[in-house]
């Protein structure tokens, strides 16, 4: 009736009420968010964190992750991880931890889905190359925040919630005021990549299952699923009271696992044989676009005006997929065969 206030709650309000029962005292309630940089009318269907999930998964940067390197440069096999499948695995682990510890699953998922949006082509080799090339330095976690704040939507950004943004920014090193959801993502990121990178290394013939140190196989298991289950079970069992932590025994094992992966995979000369060429490719692309800013897409016009052509070139190149970077390199620097028509 006209003039009467409806007592029927919209789906978002219903979900916010449910969160009072399923999100514990150390989790973040959607209704308590610190908000967005630009205030918006709330959605009637989704909480603010659910809305962040949708904005990230519908973004162009998210779609490009399917053609970006995880560990092996442009692998030809169908079953190797990409930056996108890594992101999805981190998301699933993060939701499992958040659910078990009565944290906000939607916030954890939003952070997980957005954490690597700023990654370069060619994985961390590309990140190291741009860090050397661009005068201001380059860190993928800073670029991930830049993507959601500035670069997406033609320069308007995604206008995500504060908690999602800070979780994305701090997913590598953490921060004193991190939410527990952000901490869960940071831990699950590491758990995911050491496990799936080991799986891919065995698939590629870089390692065999017997190369994995005996202490890791004995304490965590000898398959990808068993290792993940053992580590997550320990993490959940030993967390609580506003902190997330593994048992001392599991932390020792995980540290040994991490060290093994760095020595035998991430610095393996066979796995990384082609990475030396990455800096040359990205450096030539960078020099070209700095010298020819008119060749950059129109979306970068605002960046050029505000921050200069160097920043715009860095933003453009960092967003490229592996294949697109090679395509542009070939188009600009490799002569085409002359043919008679």
Task: Name every residue whose Cβ is closer than 8 Å to that of residue 274 and which is 6 or more positions away in sequence.
Answer: 73
Average pLDDT over residues 199-217: 94
Mean pLDDT, residues 1-11: 68
Residue-wise pLDDT for 242-297, tens only, equals 999 999 999 999 999 999 999 999 988 877 778 889 999 999 999 999 999 999 99
Closest CA to 106 of 45, 38, 197: 45
What secondary structure, in 3-state letters, does 43-84 show?
A: CCCCCHHHHHHHHHHCCHHHHHHHHCECCCCCCCCCCCCEHH
* pLDDT over threshold 80, residue 3: no
* This model's pTM is above 0.85: yes
Angstrom distance (rounded) from CA 134 to CA 38? 30
- Res. 1: pLDDT tops 90: no
pLDDT above 80 (res 341): no
**pLDDT value of position 6:** 54
**How high is the pLDDT of residue 274?**
80
Which range (39-43, 59-63, 275-279) has the least confidence? 275-279
What is the average per-residue pLDDT within 209-229? Answer: 96
The pLDDT of residue 329 is 97
- Is the pLDDT at 208 greater than 50? The verdict is yes
Separation of alpha carbons 44 and 10, rounded Å = 6
Q: What is the mean pLDDT of residues 146-161?
A: 97
The Cα 62–Cα 60 span in angstroms is 5
Average confidence (pLDDT) over 5-16: 86
Specify the CATH number for 11-325; select among 1.10.1040.10, 3.40.50.1370, 3.40.50.300, 1.10.3210.10: 1.10.3210.10
Q: Is 227 exposed, middle or buried (0-12, 13-18, 19+ CB in 10 A)?
A: buried
With CA atoms as reference, report the closest residue to 257 among 203, 229, 220: 220
340 pLDDT higher than 50: yes
pLDDT in tens, 84-142: 999 999 999 999 999 999 999 999 999 999 999 999 999 999 999 999 999 999 999 99
Q: How far, CA to CA in Å, does 97 sit from each of 56, 181, 220, 221?
A: 21, 9, 18, 20
Domain extent listing, the chain = 11-325
Using an 8 Å Cβ cutoff, are 175 and 166 in contact?
yes
Residue where the block lists tokens 């196989």: 217
The residue-averaged pLDDT of 140-168 equals 97
pLDDT tens by residue, 158-205: 999 999 999 999 999 999 999 999 999 999 999 999 999 999 999 989
pLDDT value, residue 75: 67
**pLDDT score for 110:** 98
**In this predicted model, which residue has the larger pLDDT, 235 or 69?**
235
Residues 35 and 37: their CA atoms lie apart, in Å, by 7
Per-residue model confidence as pLDDT tens digits over 307-317: 999 999 999 99
- How much is the pLDDT for 250? 98
């Amino acid at each position: 009736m006209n003039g009467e206030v409806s007592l029927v709650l919209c789906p978002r309000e219903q979900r916010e009420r449910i969160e009072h029962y399923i999100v514990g005292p150390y989790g973040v309630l959607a209704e308590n968010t610190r908000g967005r940089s630009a205030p918006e009318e709330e959605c009637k269907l989704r909480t603010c964190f659910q809305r962040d999930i949708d904005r990230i998964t519908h973004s162009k940067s998210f779609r490009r992750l399917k053609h970006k390197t995880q560990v092996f440069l442009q692998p030809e096999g169908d079953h190797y991880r990409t930056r996108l499948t890594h992101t999805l695995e981190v998301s699933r682990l993060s939701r499992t931890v958040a659910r078990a510890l009565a944290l906000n699953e939607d916030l954890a998922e939003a952070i997980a889905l957005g954490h690597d949006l700023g990654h370069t082509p060619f994985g961390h080799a590309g990140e190291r190359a741009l860090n050397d090339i661009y005068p201001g330095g380059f860190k993928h976690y800073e670029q991930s925040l830049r993507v959601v704040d500035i670069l997406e939507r033609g320069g308007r950004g995604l206008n995500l919630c504060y908690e999602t943004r800070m979780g994305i920014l701090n997913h590598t090193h953490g921060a004193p005021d991190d939410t527990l959801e952000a901490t869960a993502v940071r831990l699950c990121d590491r758990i995911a990549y050491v496990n799936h990178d080991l799986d891919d290394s065995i698939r590629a013939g870089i390692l065999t299952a017997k190369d994995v140190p005996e202490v890791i196989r004995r304490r965590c298991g000898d398959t990808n699923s068993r290792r993940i289950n053992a580590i997550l079970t320990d993490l959940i069992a030993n967390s609580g009271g506003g902190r997330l932590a593994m048992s001392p025994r599991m932390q020792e094992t995980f540290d040994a696992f991490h060290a093994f992966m760095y020595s035998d995979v991430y610095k393996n000369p066979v796995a990384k044989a082609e990475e030396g060429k990455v800096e040359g490719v990205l450096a030539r692309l960078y020099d070209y676009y700095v010298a020819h800013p008119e060749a950059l897409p129109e979306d970068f016009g605002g960046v050029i005006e505000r921050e200069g052509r160097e920043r715009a070139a860095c933003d453009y190149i960092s967003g490229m997929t592996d294949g697109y970077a090679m395509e542009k390199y070939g188009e600009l620097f490799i002569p085409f065969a002359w043919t008679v028509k």
